[in-house]
Homo-oligomer: A and B are copies of this chain.
Amino acid sequence: MLSFNSDYMRGAHPLILERLLHTNREQTPGYGTDPYTESAKQRILEACQLPQGNVFFMVGGTQTNTTVIDGLLAKHEGVLAAESSHINVHETGAIEATGHKVLVLPTREGKISATDIELYIKNFYQDDTYEHMVAPGMVYISYPTELGTIYSKTELEAIYKVCRTAEIPLYIDGARLGYGLAAENSDLTLAEIAHLCDVFYIGGTKVGALFGEAVVVSRSSLLPYFRPLMKQHGALLAKGRLLGLQFDVLFTEHLYERISEHAIHMAMRLKQAFLRQGFSLYIDSPSNQQFFLLPNDVIKHLSTQVSFELWGALQETHTPVRFVTDWSTTEEEIEALEKCLEGLNVAEVSTK
């Protein structure tokens, strides 16, 4: 069955598997001290134009978010984030499990604004009882957001400016970074992202790797004891070269960029296919996650041929759904979906 459920349903890009195979019997030291990790690190810093930066590799997103945020916050501080952010909703309280509160900001289509961050910080320090409240110690945003939307360069500049003024770091969760950068209306490059925040991560798990996320720190002083902290969080992979090697491949000949662009191309075709059939967008997402508001009986019909996710519980007549493309989505799969959509009984749909 056709499946558009998520972007972590397949293995890895063939070039990665090939490299794994060719290097399998090499012996390298552990915990990220191998030459593959070093090479990947150099390639990433170069792509980010961050000669003074540092890169750490971890296995998954929750692990990465938790370790980075724990590394950036003082013990009395919390992290400002969107109400819909992954760290607030979908990590089973991993941030709180390290002792830090997620401080929730009002959210519009997954995004928070510089104005709201500024206001929160201002109100906090104006409050006489601020010692009894959790200090905002950093800002977390995701790019693209959990709803597929992206910040414009202007928006990101404004947020980063507020952070620098308040002297708190800005951290970007880039689980789907490639798909954000490749989004049609994106006006940001990787190097610009790297210079408009303090720490971010380049997601591999959802963008061509078997697994792996590359944390980029714009200056090492920000996370001075990060390797022991990674070990403490169970986030220092023994065979660290597996991570280095994958990112080395992804950052060779712009593979990361190219496969991200492909995914976006597929996503845009998918979006058009729905729009052509007269369906409504639930959110107008420019990246690889597409959200539609479908009549419940369309959902029922489609589900017999295509697998996808309801976005929340089933509603009374229409329900939001999510379709996701990734590096591995083929033209054939999109065409098959197009046929499914065209084949829906128009009369039935139109009555909804």
Interface residues of A, Cβ cutoff 8 Å to B: 3, 5-6, 8-12, 14, 17, 20-21, 23-31, 59-64, 66-67, 70-71, 74-76, 78, 89-94, 96-102, 104, 123, 126-127, 129, 131-135, 205-206, 210-211, 225, 227-229, 231-239, 242, 312-313, 328
Contact = CB atoms under 8 A, between A and B. Distances in A.
Residue of A63, A102, A238 with most partner-chain B CB within 10 A: A238
Q: Which 10 A-B pairs have the closest CB atoms?
A: A63-B234, A11-B24, A76-B228, A9-B27, A92-B231, A93-B134, A92-B232, A93-B101, A96-B101, A62-B234
Contact of A133 (B70, B92, B205, B206): B92
Q: Give the interface SS of chain A, mostly helix, strand, loop or mixed.
A: loop
19 contacts: A9-B27, A10-B26, A11-B23, A11-B25, A14-B24, A62-B231, A66-B234, A70-B75, A74-B225, A75-B97, A76-B228, A91-B132, A92-B134, A93-B100, A93-B232, A94-B233, A96-B100, A127-B313, A132-B236
Contacts of A126: 313
A280 to B, nearest CB: 23
Contacts of A328: 25
A109 B233 CA distance: 28
A307 to B, nearest CB: 8
A123 B313 contact: yes
A52 B207 CA distance: 38
A45 B314 CA distance: 37
Given A94-B232, A229-B76, A12 B30 contact: no
Number of copies: 4
* Residue with the greatest number of chain B CB neighbours at <10 A, chosen from A99, A210, A328: A99
Given A8-B239, A123-B313, A328-B25, A92 B228 contact: yes
A5 B25 contact: no
Contacts of A237: 59-60, 211
B313 A132 contact: no
A10 B30 contact: no
A234 B225 CA distance: 19
A73 to B, nearest CB: 9
Nearest to A229: B76
Contacts of A26: 10-11
Nearest to A26: B10
A17 B14 contact: no
B94 A231 contact: yes
A132 B92 CA distance: 5
A237 to B, nearest CB: 6
Nearest to A307: B27
A203 to B, nearest CB: 10
Contacts of A234: 60, 62-64, 66-67, 91, 94, 233-235
B211 A238 contact: yes
A97 B12 CA distance: 33
A234 B61 CA distance: 8
A10 B29 contact: no
A118 to B, nearest CB: 15
B11 A232 contact: no
Contact of A129 (B8, B90, B129, B225): B90
Nearest to A235: B234
